[in-house]
Amino acid sequence: MAVVPLGIIAIAVCLLGVRESVRQSANRRLDWRGGLVFAISVLLFMEGAAHAKQLPIGPLMIGLGLVGLAAFFVLESHTEFPLLDVTLLTRNRFFSLSLLAAMGNYAATFGITFTMSLYLQYVRGMSPREAGLLLLFQPALQLIAAPIAGRLADRMPTRRLTSIGMLTSSTGLILAALTLTIDTPIWLLSIELAIIGAGFGIFIAPNSTAIMGSVREHQFGIASGMIGTVRTLGMAVSMSSITLVIALFMGEDKIDPGTVGLFLRSMRTGLVLFALFSCLGMVVSYFRGIPPGRDAAPMNSP
């Protein structure tokens, strides 16, 4: 219920403060078929990851999810009004690689709250409120870093700034993987979460701006929708990955004193995997080139 007032405020702002743009085509139709295939594929993939040790159903669901996602891309390339504009991905290298970097960033950071909340409550014995307050360090630093990164984006190349952000997140994830034990100091966990959140804040705003700046005005709606799509995919990959890792280490066992060691091993493995996602995104971000037909950076860029 706490989010209801915020939703009402958002609706009021949209109705009163946002002007309606000119419609490019009155005959555009919603791609229900593509949306349904995408939703079912992601659901199958995530459910399969959650039951990876249940043979053959777990791996079968993962395989069907991946096949469904492949079918979704093929379907969208032959749809008149696609949910995902595949041609925009194939013809605009900067745009597609920027989206891939964003997906890597979401895959690296979204699952942390889930795993850390389990660790804080079941291993460290915190209450849900105490765990939630500690986990606020990550979004709080993201909130602080994002506007600073927005100002820095006018002074330095976007690819450099976004790469610094993902490198920062990777550093926090690696530190967490190296130091996570049954009695890791809370102050150290807070610093690591803050580093991860700061890196996310440094990355996300300049990268989103670069994505929108790499397309023409009439493609803004599609580009914005595709940012949302890769956000969902990144979150799904993040949750599926950590769920799969925990399932492989612990199976169906609950977290208790007898399985804490296995859980900590699965957490450290998951954090390393998240760091790899972030590093891959950093490499993609740095080598994506410049927006088509635009100067990628100020005069002092390399």
In angstroms, what CA-CA distances link 167 with 105, 161, 286? Answer: 10, 10, 11
Q: What single-letter amino acid sits at 152?
A: L
How many other CB atoms sit within 10 Å of the CB of residue 162? 31
* Cβ proximity of 277 and 164 under 8 Å: no
> What is the per-residue pLDDT for 295?
40
- What is the Cα–Cα distance from 20 to 275, expressed in whole angstroms? 41
> What is the per-residue pLDDT for 267?
92
Residue-by-residue pLDDT tens, the chain, 302 positions: 555 676 777 777 767 766 655 555 445 677 788 888 888 888 887 787 767 667 788 788 888 888 988 888 888 777 777 777 777 777 788 888 888 889 988 999 888 988 999 999 999 888 989 999 999 999 899 889 988 888 887 788 888 888 899 999 999 999 999 999 998 999 999 999 999 999 999 998 888 888 888 888 777 777 887 888 788 888 888 888 888 888 888 877 788 888 888 999 999 999 999 999 999 888 888 887 776 654 443 333 33
* Cβ proximity of 283 and 166 under 8 Å: no
- What is the Cα–Cα distance from 250 to 239, expressed in whole angstroms? 16
289 DSSP assignment: -
Q: Which residue ranges make up each domain of the chain?
A: 33-84, 92-302
| H-assigned helices in the chain | 4-17, 32-50, 57-76, 86-91, 93-109, 112-118, 128-135, 137-152, 158-179, 186-213, 220-250, 260-286
Q: What single-letter amino acid sits at 257?
A: P
Q: How many CA atoms lie within 13 A of 294 on its CB side?
A: 19
In angstroms, what CA-CA distances link 77 with 80, 90, 182, 232, 265? Answer: 8, 10, 50, 20, 42
Q: What angle do CA 279, 280, 283 make, to 5 degrees?
A: 85
> What is the per-residue pLDDT for 167?
92
183's tokens: 């009695």
State which fold the 92-302 domain adopts.
Answer: Growth Hormone; Chain: A; (1.20.1250)
> What is the per-residue pLDDT for 271?
93
Q: What single-letter amino acid sits at 219?
A: Q
